[in-house]
Amino acid sequence: MAGIRDYGVYIPYNRLERSRIAQTWGGYPKKGEKAVANFDEDTVTMAVEAARACLSPGGNKTVDRFYFASTTAPYAEKQAASLAAAALDLSPAAFTMDVAGSLRAGTSAICAGLDALQANAASNALVTASDMRLGAPNGVKELDLGDGAAALVLARDDVIAKIDGYYSVNHEIFDQYRPADHPYVLSWEDRFVREKGFSQVMVKAVTTAMERFKLSWSDITLPVLTAPNPGYLKGVAKKLGWDPKLAAMDAVYPRAGNTGCAHSFLLLCHALDRAKPGDRILWANYGDGCDVMLLTVTDRILERQQVAVEAQLGSGALTTYPKYLRWRNLVETEPPMRPGQEPVSAPALYRDRRCGMALQGSKCRECGTVHYPVQRICMNCRAKDRFDYYAFAGRRGRVVTFSHDLLGVTPDPPTTVAAVDFEEGGRIMVDITDRNPNEIAINMEVEMTFRKFRRTNGIQVYWWKSRPVRQAQSHPVSQELSRPLRGTVAQIDDHGPGEGKE
């Protein structure tokens, strides 16, 4: 059976405290915070970040299939997977597909990838799940919904966790939904969503899956259940006869919010971060039905295990509610008093897709000098057309000089521009994002990140920026819900599933 070979996660650097939102509207202060994508991020850029975290050097050229899952893709008609594939420099022969329309989009893509592997139509598949849903201002969803992405590489061998089987059901219900012409996620009354939607479907799907997998409840080491609201998990755990302290744990929500179709991926990655060989993980994801998968962790986990989720959750800085409103275009602000931007040229973008989207430069075969953009004639030895393409995206550099432009057109002034020298050679002039302007300094180490650049005539231009290297740091939000819980699932009593005491 195929399984997961690698995994990667991305949680935006900026965080917004829920109490700040409530304070603005005079509401009840709610604990925790949510992850907020920067003004230059969207679901494509976040998916690229997550995919880069799980692709080994050179591994992008070996991807056979690439699935992009999201309910908030940047285009209604244009494939987001092809955009992300260009930034990741995947082979043109890689099959690309967008999966959307449900919070099960990510796990649905996993099922499609597994089917392709089992049919020998592919040897591996890269699956990303990325979302940045909006809740209406002064609403519950505004407090709950966060942004994030995760990626999994599926393969037939050399896996860290085998996927022993999956079971899927669909369920038609208007619990949480968003019309195509509406910007905000809507929801029906909470009890209806919980009882007739999540609780009913999750319990039945998990129970049926366990019967099909021929497992008892004590066989599961780490249950990973995903709910529209983490408060729903405790009741379902009791109905299944599981210890709520283990089955109802959501380490992501308190510090990042509910990240949509990426949430189940992030919870699974958090489980993989602390799993041991032989552990059995039951992974269940809800949304217009339920996908249930059984995973067995292999010895390979010891070689590839990360602390990916905790590292991302522990690396960030607080932003303000007015900035969030401006970044999401939820408030109208006065435009800058300067000429409008020049129109985007589709032919120019097409010609520059390799240097611009994949950040490819050139390296001279004669003397090894590195250039960006690609130079046909080496600036050092003058050799002509004697170069190989050279990827800058995965390399770090240091700031040589920088400036802050307070008059630049940006939702997050000032615009910080720097000349960056790379360790292996080459210099690029780039913006610095996810930064505190007061902390930028000469010789600061930076890494490259794929971001939105400008938008005109409905075309979103993407390019690369730099950012200070993210380091895990002390975070103001309590981390009590992220403690590592392990052990075989303990039943609350002797009752079977669905008969546990409330």
374/455 same-domain check? no
- Residue-level pLDDT at 409: 80
C-alpha distances in angstroms, 442 versus 12, 414, 418, 446?
25, 17, 9, 11
310/407 same-domain check? no
**CATH number of the domain to which 60 belongs:** 3.40.47.10
In a domain, 258, yes or no: yes
400/387 same-domain check? no
pLDDT top residue among 409 and 226: 226
In a domain, 350, yes or no: no
**Closest to 183 in 3D by CA, of 129, 142, 130, 228:** 142
In a domain, 377, yes or no: yes
- Residue-level pLDDT at 407: 81
**CATH number of the domain to which 423 belongs:** 2.40.50
pLDDT mean across residues, the chain: 90
299/375 same-domain check? no
Hey, what are 442's tokens? 């000469």
In a domain, 493, yes or no: no
105/15 same-domain check? yes
374/461 same-domain check? no
Contacts with 186 (C-beta within 8 Å, 6 or more apart), sequence order = 176, 177, 178, 179
How many domains in the chain? Answer: 3
- Residue-level pLDDT at 472: 56
Query: What one-letter code names the amino acid at 276?
Result: K
- Residue-level pLDDT at 498: 36
- Residue-level pLDDT at 482: 35
* 101-110, 275-284, 343-352: least confident range: 343-352
232/159 same-domain check? yes
In a domain, 501, yes or no: no
Hey, what are 52's tokens? 């880069």
Residue 363 has pLDDT above 80, yes or no: yes
In a domain, 222, yes or no: yes
Residue after which a domain boundary falls, among 329, 344, 374: 329
119/56 same-domain check? yes
In a domain, 353, yes or no: no
The DSSP element (H or E) to which 230 belongs, if any, is none
413/383 same-domain check? no
* 269-278, 294-303, 401-410: least confident range: 401-410
Domain that holds residue 368: 359-391
What is the pTM assigned to this prediction? 0.91
User: For a pLDDT cut of 70, what percent of the chain falls above it?
Assistant: 93
- CB distance 383 to 367 below 8 Å: yes
Helix (H, G, I), strand (E, B) or coil at 4: strand
- Residue-level pLDDT at 57: 73
52/80 same-domain check? yes
Q: How far, in Å, CA of 407 to CA of 393, rounded?
A: 28
In a domain, 417, yes or no: yes
363/413 same-domain check? no
- The β-bridge partners of 353 are none
- The β-bridge partners of 459 are 456
Residue-wise pLDDT tens digits, 127-173: 999 999 999 999 999 999 999 999 999 999 999 999 999 999 999 99
Strands 370-371, 360-364: pairing is antiparallel
Residue after which a domain boundary falls, among 370, 391, 412: 391
Residue-wise pLDDT tens digits, 372-420: 999 999 999 999 999 999 999 999 999 999 999 988 788 888 999 999 9
Residue after which a domain boundary falls, among 391, 414, 443: 391
Residue 373 backbone zone (phi > 0: left; psi -120 to 50: alpha; other: beta): beta
236/303 same-domain check? yes
